[in-house]
Amino acid sequence: MKAFSKQFAILLTTFVLIVSSFFMGNPAHAESGKRNSEPTNLGSLIQSVAVYDSTYGVEDGRDIMYTTSSGSPAIFQVVDLKSQEVLRTYPLEGTGAVWTHITVPNGNVYIGGNGYLYEYSPVTKEVKNLGGIGESVVYGLSYDEEGRVYFGSYPNAKAGRYDPKTGEMKDYGSIAPGQSYSRSTAYHNGYLYLGIGVENAIVKLDVETGEYEKIKVPDHVVPGSSVWQMDAAGKYIVAGVGGGSNTLLFYDTETGQWSDKYYTNSKGIRLIHGLPGSNKVYFLQGSKLMEVDLNTLSATDTKVVFGTFLRNTAWVEVENDPDLPGKSLVTVQFGGQVTYMNLQTKKVKTTQLPIVGNPIPIQTLEKGPEGNLYLSGYPGGKGAVYNPETNVNRNFTLGQAEGMAALGDKMYFGVYTGATIFEMDTTNPASTPKQIYDIPHQDRPFIMTAAQNKLFIGTIPDYGYLGGSLTVLDPANVKDTAVYPNVVHNQAIAGLAEVNGKLYGSTTVAGGLGIDPTEPAAKIFVWDIEKGEKITEFVPEIPGVTVQPKMISGMSLGPDGLLWSAAAGAIFAMDPDTLEIVKSKNIFPEVKDYGRWRPIHIRWSEDGLMYTNLAGNLTEIDPVTLEHEVLTNTVTELMTIGNDGNIYYVNKVDLMKIEVSDTLESGFKFVERETVYGNIANSVSQQLINSLNSAIHHRDMGRQEEASKHLQDALKHLENAKESDIDTELREQLRRILNSI
């Protein structure tokens, strides 16, 4: 195809005026040919059992496990441990994931959901939504002597309390201003202790007065860690702190000091309390179940080995099993398996229970090198590959991928947390992703772009930090990976595109959770790939946008040779040579600010139309005229175009499809655009436009035979055109389009 003319602005003005006047004089050119079908629901492709926590109790004289499988909605489940049956299930409307459960002394179960606290009664067998305190997530349940239930929250690190006697829901407000997470709680002698993320601190709250104080964790703990576990045991508050070493700490409530004893590599949500009357507690260190004497805080290996995470536990009796005499520890695994551990025999047994799974929300969608569609789920645990031709779907193990990219015959996934990069061989139908790199000090790899046989990765930093990295990774030589931190000061990368050996990027002012932005506006930057250095950066002046955008994303090289991006409700195009904004349109002017981390997507159809989820609206845009059409009435965060030319997008847990057909109108506009770009000579363009316009006229009058004749005339004009008037590649592309009408 011919190179895009440097005189774009002049050509654009001239040709649009010519073609527009032609249309105005030909009212037969009505948009009667429907290009895009109504959406089709392809179903929930990622269905899994994703269990994060459990609690236990006795119901009707039988040992019961209570747990919740995440999904849309999450499903609370009552499981009989003896019969291994799921007795009852309850959809928790409004909640997708549950991170915390607790059983209080009267047997009632409390469940922390997406902003709501739920209560289950083993007597009435009912689940009630008790409401919340205006937060998005309820974390870290605990209770006091009166049966009042406490919790932490996200995104404002609040403390809350529910009193079942009065029905009062108390909001203590934020107990860690500037932080996002109060991830864990423990009640002890009139005080609620809360674990904060990511300030390396706990908070001691007087539950009656609401007064609180911050207590820093010891200096040996990795800075910027989250206190994800809190338990009261004897006189101690036991805190589990993440961040590399996963340290278990002991805070003496009598002296107000941290003990010198601590243990690393702790793997559990809650501490295991010993049997009644015992002064022992237990935790998992790596794969070893360790016993801690609360008098000395010395730990002893029980010789019980358990290879995964402890998601809360209880002591239960297992009947008729000589390997599990007396009381055994029971816990649930992520996939819904139940594991028993016996301290006498050192035996560990796992049983798969019929936990009810659920579709989970789709986190990322991208086309692979072979035309299949790849998806990741939220929360992480499973991914999926879908073949649009056969309608066959396969699930595989995958963390929460924030970004994806195809390179060669491999698919690459950027996984949260920790910004780990995984590789998957798409030529092997049974392959699963394997980790190849871990980007330091970063957390969410939303941007992954393939160019020059390398991956260019833009990331959001870790919790509590500003400044994203640019990572240049050659999968054939991973050890030489280059990581450039804080490419744009205190901003993270939200868009990347390579043009003629230069990398163009856009940013978001947002950093990781737990820290506020310091910069007033998002920027565009240019990067010299060969030298590994930034050439320039600037805040673009976007015509039609009156508020400086906090995020610029969707950067994509269009068929016109311009770099297209989005900010709030506007799209704009930049000349990559001059860095001038040459066109823009505020399509959704009511949207003043859109997005924090997740970029919008800009994709191009074979005939040069833009499809985008601008401001969450799935929209078709003509890059020449900037005319647009909104295709759905649902918020769309993920979309792509398949090899079949159809649009695929996500509606929460479902993959959706809009079939795209070539029409006389779309063929007409394709000729118009390529003429504007200088890729079709005026003489040929006029012949094609005349024939297609006549075909549209006759079709609209119901004369299909005449319409077909004029369409064939257009094909003849195309075949007879000189190579100097339209090159071979473009001729073949237009031939395919016209033949498919």
pLDDT tens profile 287-314:
999 999 999 999 999 999 998 889 899 9
Cα angle: 293, vertex 299, 303; to 5 degrees: 115
Count of structural domains, the chain? 3
Query: How many CA atoms within 13 Å lie on the side-chain side of 267?
Result: 16
Q: Which of 613, 639, 660 is the last residue of a domain?
A: 660
Instruction: Note whether residue 215 is domain-resident.
Output: yes
Q: Is there a single domain that holds both residue 633 and residue 694? A: no
- Phi–psi pair at 152, nearest 5 degrees: -105, -170
Instruction: Note whether residue 161 is domain-resident.
Output: yes
pLDDT average, residue stretch 708-719? 96
Structure tokens at 264: 């690393």
Determine the 3-state secondary structure of 226 from DSSP. strand
Instruction: Note whether residue 442 is domain-resident.
Output: yes
Structural contact between residues 69 and 356, judged by C-beta atoms closer than 8 angstroms: yes
How far apart are the C-alpha atoms of 66 and 312, rounded to whole Å? 11
Q: Is there a single domain that holds both residue 627 and residue 721? A: no
97-147 pLDDT, tens digit per residue, is 999 999 999 999 999 999 999 999 999 999 999 999 999 999 999 999 999
Encode 413-429 in three state secondary structure: EEEECCCEEEEEECCCC
451 C-beta neighbours (distance < 10 Å), count: 17
Q: Is there a single domain that holds both residue 298 and residue 233? A: yes
Q: Is there a single domain that holds both residue 146 and residue 159? A: yes
pLDDT average, residue stretch 444-459? 98
Q: What percent of the chain has pLDDT over 90?
A: 86
Instruction: Note whether residue 156 is domain-resident.
Output: yes
Q: What percent of the chain has pLDDT over 70?
A: 95
**Mean pLDDT rounded to a whole number for the chain:** 93
487-498 pLDDT, tens digit per residue, is 999 999 999 999
Q: Is there a single domain that holds both residue 603 and residue 710? A: no
In order of 23, 34, 705, 710, the CA distances from 666 in angstroms are 14, 9, 20, 16
Q: Is there a single domain that holds both residue 526 and residue 384? A: yes
Instruction: Note whether residue 98 is domain-resident.
Output: no
Instruction: Note whether residue 528 is domain-resident.
Output: yes
Q: Is there a single domain that holds both residue 672 and residue 631? A: no
Determine the 3-state secondary structure of 201 from DSSP. strand
391-403 pLDDT, tens digit per residue, is 999 999 899 999 9
Instruction: Note whether residue 615 is domain-resident.
Output: yes
Instruction: Note whether residue 326 is domain-resident.
Output: no
Position 247 scores a pLDDT of 94
User: Does the pLDDT of residue 74 top 60, yes or no?
Assistant: yes
Q: Is there a single domain that holds both residue 650 and residue 704? A: no
Determine the 3-state secondary structure of 431 from DSSP. coil
Q: Is there a single domain that holds both residue 608 and residue 733? A: no
The whole domain housing 380 covers 360-660
Q: Which of 628, 660, 692 is the last residue of a domain?
A: 660
Q: Is there a single domain that holds both residue 272 and residue 401? A: no
Position 219 scores a pLDDT of 87
For the domain that residue 161 is a member of, what is the CATH number? 2.130.10.10
Would you give the distance in Å from CA 250 to the centre of its chain?
Answer: 35
Q: Is there a single domain that holds both residue 149 and residue 22? A: no
Q: Which of 660, 675, 707 is the last residue of a domain?
A: 660
Position 513 scores a pLDDT of 84
User: Does the pLDDT of residue 373 top 90, yes or no?
Assistant: yes
Q: Is there a single domain that holds both residue 707 and residue 582? A: no
pTM for this prediction? 0.75
Structure tokens at 148: 């009042």
